[in-house]
Amino acid sequence: MVGDKLFYKTLLKNMFSDPFKIKFWDESVEKFGEGESKFQIILNEPISKGDIINDPSITLGEAYMTKKLEIEGNVQAVIESLYNNKESFLSKSEMYEKLIKKIKSSIKRSKDNIQFHYDIGNSFYKLWLDKSMNYSCGYFKNDTDTLDEAQNNKINHILEKLNLKEGQSLLDIGCGWGELIIRAAKQYKVKGIGITLSEEQLQKANERIKAEGLENLVEVKLQDYREIKNVNFDRIVSVGMLEHVGLENLSEYFSIVNNLLKDKGLSLIHCITAVNKGGNNTWIDKYIFPGGHVPAIKNIITDIAEQEFELIDIESLRRHYGKTLERWAENFESVLPIVAKRKDEIFIRMWRLYLNSCAASFNRGNINVHQILFAKGVNNDLPWTRDYMNS
């Protein structure tokens, strides 16, 4: 046991930028750093040293889920303290930098991966998302904007960037619960098709379309983007979906968009991006988003250039996603009594860790989120300035 404690002391003492304490399974406490401790790491039992060395992300994540490891203090603040310490091996090599296996994602595997995460149940997501059920980065015009306002801003911002005109056609790849495609039809009278691989999202989106009386303008299908044939669109949008495409399919994705887009057509992707090299956190890959890959921004731009698209606009929303995740985490904690009736404690701790670690990642700049607008061929019909994007 003495040897075990020495290992954890050595492992943890330089991991965080803030002073903290470690409480061991024998009730002994060690303090590290100068000044008042900001938080306490509680080890209720020894954790396999070999597992930690082999994959600290999965091992420590699972330890938190099963209460072998507990955090006394704000979870997000603890993870930000880890990221602030550039000497931490976790900060440098594991979180969002360790590449997952390069397995080409088939249509069936993609559907299975999406349903693993999104088909937990519409009732679960409804508890803590905004009223329109947008499960992607909001757009905060002011620090005091509510989550509902931020998500409303985001939808408007995307639709303005697409410069939609009445009668145009719009494809939404990975349409979620249908908010964007419904709003596009209502506000711009465009004819839209949304596709998703989630049965739960399909059901909810179709309910909303029927309730709005938009069946003549909007259609949502259970379909992979690789299955769309013999049709072209004036506009193609994808929000929070490119992260699910997979490293080996990125070039193919942009090639398919090229084939589906009309000449002078516009496309916008809104996705999480890596700063330098793409990858994924192994714990998130196992428990939250299987098969996901956060693409590097430079690789996305290269793929866009290789299709000879005209790159029009790139906007970073990193801080916006950090705040969005903080709001989601707050909402999640506020509905725990309801969640606890449906899910066990491991599930709750898993989602708490996921939401808080992602908020920390965006706040510390380990990952980003970008909106990228591009055109097929030369489009001289757009306004001269970006003012039309910022109403």
**pLDDT per residue over 205-225, tens digit each?**
999 999 999 999 999 999 999
Confidence bin at 94 (pLDDT 50/70/90): very low
- Annotation marks residue 175 as catalytic: no
Q: Which amino acid is at 324?
A: T
Q: Which amino acid is at 89?
A: F
- The Cα 205–Cα 362 span in angstroms is 29
360, 76 contact by CB (below 8 A): yes
Average pLDDT value for residue range 341-353: 92
| The two structure tokens encoding residue 58 | 């999965």
What percent of the chain has a predicted confidence (pLDDT) above 90?
61
Phi, psi of 339 (to 5 degrees): -60, -40
Q: Looking at 137, 175, 271, 358, which residue is catalytic?
A: 358
With 90 as the cut, is the pLDDT of residue 56 above it?
no
Of 3 and 168, more confident? 168
- Residue labelled with tokens 């930000």: 80
- Which pLDDT score is estimated for 8? 79
| The two structure tokens encoding residue 340 | 């606890």
Average pLDDT value for residue range 254-265: 97
- Which pLDDT score is estimated for 102? 41
Of 287 and 300, more confident? 300
**Other C-beta atoms within 10 Å of 121: how many?**
12
273, 297 contact by CB (below 8 A): yes
With 90 as the cut, is the pLDDT of residue 11 above it?
no
Average pLDDT value for residue range 356-365: 92
